[in-house]
Structure 1
């Protein structure tokens, strides 16, 4: 059984840790059963955002009349869009492998535990590839889409839709109204695919701030039909078309026919192949590995990072975890992990971005706050878009003036929110923001307007 200084199970973002350890002279084993790079560049963040670029271009043409421009789309080559993104994806694994130093042993297979510090690597057919051991092991196996029902049919999930080797469908039914369903729905509807979204609940994006939720839904439904309180009760496939039967709380049913169907109903932990029963590693009731504030599992020397640790299912927090482990494992840092303010964005039409608490969460926790909801008309640059819906919502403490939450809906929200992130990171006091000179009439002036308003409210609370 070969011994290593470090074993990493999962070749996604954690491959960066493998490279850093190898550059410091460590003997490293990196285990990956699919493609190097993990979900983000192969099946998730990157390809979906490349697709959204096409959607934005199409919408700009369709909505040019807002600016008194008569423009039409003469054709959309959806196959070319798929082919371009598929070509980019095909190069991800080779690019990642080419960066690996010579003292990293790359194992292509599934890693599972024989004991606390012994790992078995199995090939695609279950054959044994190797048995290895280390006192330091990092588990970074991530998550996968929740298993789709009716898997006997060629249904899509966010995993198998990529690398986009399929023919773009003329019609698509999406089951699920979370960020994956909404982002892919926004793309397909924009490029001319007849797209509909069906959700069991009464809202899209259930975690969005309740004051922004109706704004989002109204704008989103301008482009993509959404059916609420709609549960899939039956699905048939005749070799060409899917027929979905949906049931509703009032006992009624409706049918929907489309060329393709996509299940976007959440993600589950990739811990079931690790054979954790052979170890003392503990998981929660959802299968995520329990960790402390140093990303340590319940076994000394074994860490969990990224989605599999269950702290956040976000690529940027996974990157943060890996950076943290570089400092603790390789540099000897003893500081506890502190995520600070964790933001997220949803790249739909309209775009949304958030950090901190929603108003409902503050109410549920009994935290004292003041809020403001402002449109973007204080910025002439925002007014130039001729959009009426964009909003900024700020939630602050009336006692300390700390930002408790910030929520945006409007173009470039994912970029704009970084001004608030920097404020929260350096000196979380909303009174600092008006002290800064803002370029006029740039988009960030919308924060200046919101900050002045919420500060006034706090003073009189």
Structure 2
């Protein structure tokens, strides 16, 4: 049995449903194939449930600090983790249900449940049925990477997906990996009341950031009681009665950390290893990411790859932008390119880190002479008024042409304020233009022009 469509979208993550709707709106018949949960990582195991948990953890943190604001509660703060989990589950289920309803309401779109595998360049098989289309869009996302470290196959461990199933607070959560996912869970579960130790093999946290950013994040989390074991060059896992032992050092000191649970947060891998890509001749890089050009087309004409599986971004916003690029080029006569977008993302600890463009280190490595503007959040009125003065602002500007090359805002509302810099960069305006722009008082963003007025070599 076989069916023909005008387009096939494999995966109903962030890019897939929106693209299917645009294609169907242009008069195409579209098959959307999803083997598991509509909504992909963001809706089901990523942004939505985790940021809901972050919000619950922040509520607990603010409640504990109530007396500093003159607010006295009747008793000690306690965590009902089952209720916390139920709240996150509800947010996810509602989002997924709404997305399923959206797809069902699209005339010309057929949602097919099952696992798609290529059998030729423009033909896939799902549950014994063959589907064909001249246009195929791969949007299969990614999953947690599980390194082949000693003891990993004998020891129960959590990933960013399975930790969402916990309905109790771990006594001692050991997190292997000191980057974005690991740090968000570290602060979250510390605020829920767990002991937390982060094990990281490199000398500092989130190594892609400038050293002062890494150091400040460590200080923020240590102030809340998160412990760190950096330079852990000999990581291993072993089961223990009622818990787990994580080896961290083969030569000296405390060579292991004992915990009740261990979370592996050491990166992601694309869901491309069981798609039958070889049958279609679709090229991948050594890590399994599908190779795409500037328009997100693969080496096979008529096949595109969007979202986490193409290695051109690992965020919900990059996946959605992939959809926008493909739709604009196919349907609107535009010539948009993935290299035209500016890198931007956030680390959602509290306070958050908002990032755009290059770090100072990256700018210097690229050959720029730079000027730097820095302001601690202790000198940002909005942060002082809220009693949340951890962190700082940092802007990197080219000394010659005044281009804003990048920025980091680690501090209260940093994930929102960073957009003032992102939008200025996208508009092609320089530091001088933003420096002369009036902002609202009292906000975090109002200090951005001030920082740009204090640039130094």
Return 436-445 or 49-58, whichever deviates more: 436-445
Deviation of the 1:40 alpha carbon:
0.3
Distance 1:211 1:244, change over 3 A: closer
Unaligned runs of 5+ in 1: 123-127
Call closer, same or farther: CA 1:268–1:66 in 2, change over 3 Å: same
Q: 1:20 to 1:416 in 2, by over 3 A?
A: same
State the shift of 1:255 in Å. 2.8
- When residues 275 and 287 of structure 1 are mapped into structure 2, their CA distance, relative to the original with a 3 A threshold, is same
Comparing 323-332 and 294-303, the one that deviates more: 323-332
Q: Assess if the C-alpha contact under 8 Å between 2:383 and 2:389 holds in 1.
A: no
1:171 and 2:169 are equivalent in the alignment: no
What pairs with 1:34-433 in structure 2 (closer than 5 Å)? 34-67=36-69, 73-100=76-103, 101-122=106-127, 128=128, 130-147=129-146, 150-162=152-164, 164=165, 166-223=167-224, 224-231=226-233, 233-237=235-239, 240-248=242-250, 250-433=251-434
SS in 1 for 2:137: strand
1:439 Cα deviation from its structure 2 partner: 2.0
Aligned with 1:54: secondary structure?
helix
Distance change in 2, residues 1:115/1:239 (3 Å): farther
Q: Report SS of the residue matched to 2:162.
A: coil
What is the rounded CA distance, in whole Å, between the counterparts of 1:211 and 1:154 in structure 2? 35
User: Structure 1 409/105 Cα, relative in aligned 2: closer, same or farther at 3 Å?
Assistant: same
Is the 1:394–1:450 Cα contact (8 Å) retained in structure 2? yes
The answer to whether the 8 A contact 1:378-1:449 is kept is no
Q: Gaps spanning 5+ residues in structure 2: where?
A: none
C-alpha distance in 2, partners of 1:237/1:80? Answer: 29
Query: CA–CA distance in 2 between the matches of 1:442 and 1:141?
Result: 40
- CA drift at 1:378: 4.6
CA drift at 1:190: 0.6
Q: C-alpha distance in 2, partners of 1:334/1:398? A: 32
CA contact (8 A) 2:391 2:411 kept: yes
Contact 2:291 2:298 in 1 (8 A): yes
> Normalised by the size of structure 2, how large is the TM-score?
0.92
Mapped to 2, the partners of 1:412 and 1:121 lie a distance apart of 45
C-alpha displacement of 1:180: 0.3
Q: How many residues in Structure 1 have an aligned counterpart in Structure 2?
A: 448
| 1:151-181 superposed Cα distances (whole Å, 9 cap, x missing partner) | 454311012223x364332321111111000
CA distance in 1, matches of 2:210, 2:412: 17
Instruction: Give yes or no for contact 1:31–1:111 (8 Å, CA) kept in 2.
Output: yes
- CA contact under 8 A between 1:36 and 1:92: conserved in structure 2? no
Q: State the alpha-carbon separation in 1 of the partners of residues 442 and 237 from structure 2.
A: 52
Q: Is the 8 A contact 1:341 1:355 kept in 2?
A: yes
**Secondary structure of the corresponding residue to residue 182 of structure 2:** helix
Does the 8 Å CA contact 1:376/1:446 hold for their aligned counterparts?
Answer: no
C-alpha RMSD over aligned residues = 2.1
Contact 1:216 1:350 in 2 (8 A): no
